[in-house]
Amino acid sequence: MAHSESARRRPLEGVRVIDLTKIVAGPNATRMLATMGAEVIRVEWHDQRALDLLRGVRPLAPGGEADSVNRSGLFNNINAGKYGVTLNMNLPQGRDLFKKLVAGASVLCENYSPNQMERWELGYETLSEINPGLIYAQITGMGKSGTYNGYLSVGPTAQALSGLTHMSGFPEPMPPAGWGYSYLDHSTGYYGAILILAALYRKRRTGRGCYLDLSQTEAGIMVSGTATLEAQVSGNPTDRHGNRMPAADWAPHGAYPCRGTDEWIAIAIQNDAQWALLAAEIGAPEWTRDARFALAAGRKAHEDELDRLMAEATLSTDRYDLMNRLQRRGVPAAAVQKADDRCERDPQLKARGYFVPLPHSEIGTWAIEGFPAKFARMPVDVGGLPHRGAPMMGEDNDYIYRDVLGLGPEEIATLREEWVI
Amino acid sequence: MNAAGLLSNALDGAVVIECGSEQGEFAGVLLASLGAEVVKLEGRHGSDSRRLGPFSIPDGGPEHSLCFSRYNLGKKSVRLEIDHPAARDALRRLAMRADVIIDSGTADAVARRLDFYREMQLANPRLIVCTITPFGLDGPSRDLAMTNLTHLALGGVMASCGYDARPDGVYDTAPIAPEMWQAYHIAGEYAVIAITAALNFRELTGEGDCIDLSIHEAVSSCTEVAMPTYIYNGEVVKRQTGRHAAEGRTRPWLRRTKDGRYVKAFLFWGGRDVRVITEMLNEAGVAHDLDSDEYRELRERAPAEAQAHFSAMIDKLVGSMTAEEVFHRAQAKGLLWASVRYPEENIADPHFQARGTFQPIHHPELGRDLHYPVSVATDGKDRVTGFSRGAPRLGEHTDEVLAQAGLTVSDIAVLRTQGAL
């Protein structure tokens, strides 16, 4: 089949996205759109009060000027594939220019504090008059509508309120372990991308734009699984279960210590056959003859003792060696990998080309985390249209203001002098 | 409020065939919430997820799994043994009218059907096929046996989640896999991003695509700062109780409240927090010395000691109120704090009620509704996604869907006789 012509077309060809996002949740959404071929124009301002906090967040690429806002590795990872312009939204001329950008765009995505756009007189009603087909996705911590519309949130706030923090960790009296990072900055970005992509598909068929009021906390509620349902049926509050499997008689099911400093292996036994294979491999076939552990229900009933025996048995083993030996028998087992393991010792990530080297105009070429799928036809590239990492602050002012908006050199010079761009 | 929302018809008319394991169910339910007709193909004994708890009534029956109903809302169920030779013609007819096929499971199981899907794409070039497998369809780890737990281990999530090390730096508690199908949530979200991008691509080109999604890569891409910290600085973040993993030990965020619950109360040192928290202490009538000359002098002379003292004052403040009081009072002052809620506590929260976050779905076996989380966004008023019905009974739509695909009553009867239905 000949697909040479279509293969050059990106899924979001012709889609321009104005990206007024900060930190991680919003930028993650627009990153997905850039990966799919949208022209994503990141709008920022370099005043300390307006600066995206992420531009200064560790890790920083080594060397360079100490006060550079272009060296954060996290920023580079999350903003790859986008164009970048500066624009002072606090000046009327800046807001006028912003309206021109929006007029030619398919999508606006922003995650400022809930009422900032109204303060700038740039709410959906105003912008949809300028561009009736606009898809405006507004991402806030709690959601713009509802009773918490003035409340503020970052990932950990939303994780606490949604129930995700409570659900993670060992049961009381241990406190919740929660999530060791802003999981909901990732999830909210994914949902932002999904809803925008669905809205773009709808727009292609109907011509209609829309306003989307995304809530980071609701993204957390969405991934709370069956907890809310179980509590409604049982009348009991949701409990934590450590690494155990509350939904089935899967045991042992946990992380067990291995040789070395803070090295662990996760093992998940789903049936009696896997149990027998585990016991044989680990050199403890007598376990299988212990009446308490013979069947799944018994193992579940005696999980404390089982976990103690497992931890004793794994303590002197190498985590990768044990993982490989169990896997050869078809037993689900995996080393608990840290970032260095995934970068240096994970053959699969390497073989699939997960890490994508992309150039950055100040810090050089660095590995960017890729999109987790391969496509037979669509050209999908985390480097986006510019095929590079994140933009430096205002890197594309000339291209966007001159070539996209059609401003003349004198006009651009004046805007610079007047601190508008 | 109706079940339908702004985007619950975004994929109106799109037919999705979903088969395979629980790994693909979340992708299917997200597409159903956007208005796609999702037809779930189940073997004679039903999907494995029908045997996972919790259950709405304690019979453990396949129609009463809340795990199944959570992840299969709004779908149709067709009882069809997809690998049975006699089922091929029915599958072919279903694929001919489908827009998307989602197939999940081991790479081996999915690969057995790939030739068939390729054949179907020749006959129906608009077909989008998305496979969701542990590692993708190639690479050295392709055939490892995996579960949700082992994915969260190998993909790096667990290494960032858990409890503080002892004061001597030794970890004596295991890394934690946050509960529920988080690996499958992440993979499902990415799958829907890929599928909705492919639908947009198809609008441009008229062609479908083959998407080979790797759960391992999806999970790996969802660990925020862990990877960049290693890539840029060669450092590995360490897990900490209820807060972000970091290179070094940070101050606690979780604090106990008067009612024995927790709140997440951050301290952004050097910001406006000192003033605001001092105000809150005064309002709560809690004795403190934060506005004394001695404390101001301590901040100058010994910032670390001053921070520790300030943190102890926050503990005192939080301990004088209930978790919900802390949440609302802190938010009223512009602090990013939140109560650590049980997920089900959000069902009765007026904010989420106003936004339609949860949708009541009737459970005849209980004689009442259960409230399911269905939406992460509103259109400014009502939720944008939802379902027109609950999860299907096993094979509930077999005759209806096969008849729509062109099978006659006698064709269907023959398939039953042959054991394919």
Cα A70 from Cα A395, distance rounded (Å)? 10
Strand partners, A18: A41, A108
**Cα separation of B256 and B413, whole Å?**
63
Q: Looking at the predicted complex, does its ipTM rise above 0.95?
A: yes
Cα–Cα nearest to B193, from A19, A184, A192: A192
Alpha helices by DSSP H, listed for B97-252, are 107-111, 114-123, 148-154, 157-160, 182-205, 215-220, 226-233
Residue B386 lies in a domain: yes
**What are A303-311's contacts with CB under 8 Å, separation 24+?**
A303/A244, A303/A251, A303/A252, A306/A251, A306/A252, A307/A252, A307/A254, A307/A256, A309/A284, A310/A252, A310/A254, A310/A256, A310/A267, A311/A256, A311/A257
**Same-domain check for residues B209 and B266:** no
Instruction: State pLDDT tens for residues B202-255.
Output: 999 999 999 999 999 999 999 999 999 999 999 999 999 999 999 999 999 999
Looking at the structure, tell me whether residues B363 and B334 fall in a common domain.
Answer: no
- Do B21 and B146 fall into the same domain? yes
Report the DSSP beta bridge partners of residue A135. A107, A210
Yes or no, beta carbons of B357 and A221 under 8 Å apart = yes
Chain B positions touching A360 (Cβ under 8 A) are none
Last residue of a domain, one of B339, B374, B391: B339
Residue ranges of the domains in chain A?
Answer: 4-222+351-417, 253-257+264-335
CB contact under 8 A, B54 and A226: yes
Whether B55 maps to a domain, the answer reads: yes
Q: Which amino acid is at B350?
A: P
> What is the pTM for the complete model shown?
0.97
Same-domain check for residues B323 and B382: no
What mean pLDDT do residues A138-156 have?
94
Quick: pLDDT tens for A397-419: 999 999 999 999 999 999 999 99
Task: Let me know whether B295 and B363 are in one domain.
Answer: no
Residue B188 lies in a domain: yes
Mark which residues 103-122 of B lie under 8 Å from A by CB: 122
| Contact present, A222 and B26 (Cβ < 8 Å) | no
Q: Do B297 and B208 share a structural domain?
A: no
Mean pLDDT of all residues in A283-296: 86
Structural domain total, chain B: 2
In this structure, the answer to whether residues B335 and B361 fall within a common structural domain is: no
- The answer to whether position B233 is within a domain reads no
- In this structure, are B160 and B294 located in the same domain? no
Please indicate, yes or no, whether residues B189 and B321 belong to a single structural domain of this protein: no
Q: What is the pLDDT of residues A15-46, one digit of tens each?
A: 999 999 999 999 999 999 999 999 999 999 99
- CATH match for A253-257+264-335 among 3.30.1540.10, 3.40.50.300, 3.30.420.40, 3.50.50.60: 3.30.1540.10
Interacting residues of B238 by C-beta distance below 8 A, sequence separation 6+:
B165, B245, B246, B247, B248, B249
Residues B79 and B148 in one domain: yes
In a domain, B344, yes or no: no
**Mean per-residue pLDDT over chain B, rounded:** 95
Mean pLDDT of the B117-136 span: 97
Query: In this structure, which amino acid lies at residue A145?
Result: S
Whether omega before B134 lies within 30 degrees of 0, making that bond cis, reads no
Give CA B141 to chain center in angstroms. 25
Same domain for B335 and B390, yes or no, is no
| Residue A289 confidence (pLDDT) | 82
- Residue where a domain stops, chosen among B271, B306, B339: B339
Residue A4 has pLDDT above 50, yes or no: no
* B190/B35 Cα distance (integer angstroms): 18
CATH number of the domain enclosing B156: 3.40.50.10540
Q: A211 and B380 in contact by Cβ < 8 A?
A: yes
Whose tokens are 């048995």? That residue is A313
Q: Which residues of B touch A164 (CB under 8 A)?
A: 178, 343
Which pLDDT score is estimated for B163?
Answer: 98
B356-382 pLDDT, tens per residue?
A: 999 999 999 999 999 999 999 999 989
> Residue range A52-70: average pLDDT?
94
B243, part of any domain: no
Superfamily the domain A4-222+351-417 falls into = Crotonobetainyl-coa:carnitine coa-transferase; domain 1 (3.40.50.10540)
Region of A305 please: left (phi>0), alpha (psi -120 to 50) or beta. alpha
pLDDT digits (tens, 9 = 90+) for B266-290: 887 766 888 899 999 999 999 889 8
Q: Determine which helix (DSSP H) or strand (DSSP E) holds B129, and give its type and residue range.
A: strand B128-133
Tell me, yes or no, whether B272 and B195 share the same domain.
no
| Residues from chain B contacting residue A228 (CB–CB below 8 Å) | 343-344, 346-347, 358, 371-373
Instruction: Provide the residue range defining the domain that includes B302.
Output: 251-256+262-339
**Does residue B2 have a pLDDT over 50?**
no
B409: in domain: yes
pLDDT tens digits, B85-106? 999 999 999 999 999 999 999 9
pLDDT number for residue B1: 39
- Residues 6 or more apart from A235 whose CB is under 8 A from it? none
Question: Is residue B242, in this structure, part of any structural domain at all?
Answer: no
Q: What is the mean pLDDT of residues A315-321?
A: 97
The token pair at A139 is 């991402």
